[in-house]
Amino acid sequence: MKIAVFVSGRGTNLKAILDSPKLAGIIEVKAVVSDKAECPAFELAKKNSINIYTVGKKVGFISYEKLQDILFSLKIELIVLAGFLKLIPEELINFYKNRIINIHPALLPSFGGTGMYGINVHKAVFESSAQVSGATVHFVDETYDNGKIIVQKCVDITNVGSPDEIAEKVLKIEHQLLPEAIEKIASGKIKLVNGRVQVLM
Ligand code: GRF
């Protein structure tokens, strides 16, 4: 399966995808897309000889229409948002209906939505005194962190001392969960039945 990964920053989830033995021979990352002209994730893409594209309205960036054409011509079957901070336009969501997924660093439907990204998520979790957090991979729709949940993994945070500590624990889980989710999708194990995700074993 040919995939595109959308990023805005570090790219540790992109690295987890590229390094995953589970995904070797099953998927191929054909494009890395960012809303930033430069970001560490782009460096990683270049090192792996993956095409990079910068999307948005700024001078020199490509439009979402143009990007859609490129993704189509690259025969991209799945778009993975791995730390991409911008909302995906409706046209692209409809074009790739149920073929765009996102990883969120908390257990949705809690601690998601506008402004809930990066350390903000972990601060909110910390302040709530929640005893567990985790990561969620979900389908993407027109609203932030709102699509159907595909897979989740929990982590115990009973004794953490700071939001940073939660972030560290959750990131480790993200790096396992995202490749697992992609593997399930690529092997046809994820089905949407009557609006509910079914994970076939
Ligand atoms: C991750 O925590 C992901 O869940 C969130 O943004 C962060 C991206 O991290 N959506 P990285 O760029 O993959 O290191």
Residue the block writes with tokens 């960012």: 34
Q: Which residues line ligand 1 (CB under 6 A)?
A: 7, 9-13, 41, 82-83, 103-105, 171, 174
Q: How far apart are the first and last CA of the chain?
A: 19
pTM: 0.97
In angstroms, what is the span from residue 13 Cα to ligand 1's centroid? 6
Residue 58 has pLDDT above 90, yes or no: yes
What values do phi and psi take at 94, rounded to 5?
-70, -35
pLDDT above 90 (res 201)? no
Distance of CA 133 to the CA centre of its chain: 17
Q: At what angle do helices 12-19 and 40-47 cross, to 10 degrees?
A: 20
In tens, the pLDDT along 33-47 reads 999 999 999 999 999
The tens digit of pLDDT for each residue in 99-158 reads: 999 999 999 999 999 999 999 999 999 999 999 999 999 999 999 999 999 999 999 999
- Output the pLDDT for position 196: 96
Domains of the chain: 2-199 (3.40.50.170)
- How far is ligand 1, taken at its centre, from the CA of residue 84, in Å? 8
The least confident of 28-32, 71-75, 128-132, 191-195 is 191-195
Pocket test for ligand 1, best of 155, 164, 174 (most atoms within 8 A of CB): 174
E strand intervals along 110-159: 132-139, 149-156
Coil vs helix vs strand at 199? strand
Is residue 104 annotated as part of the catalytic site, yes or no? yes
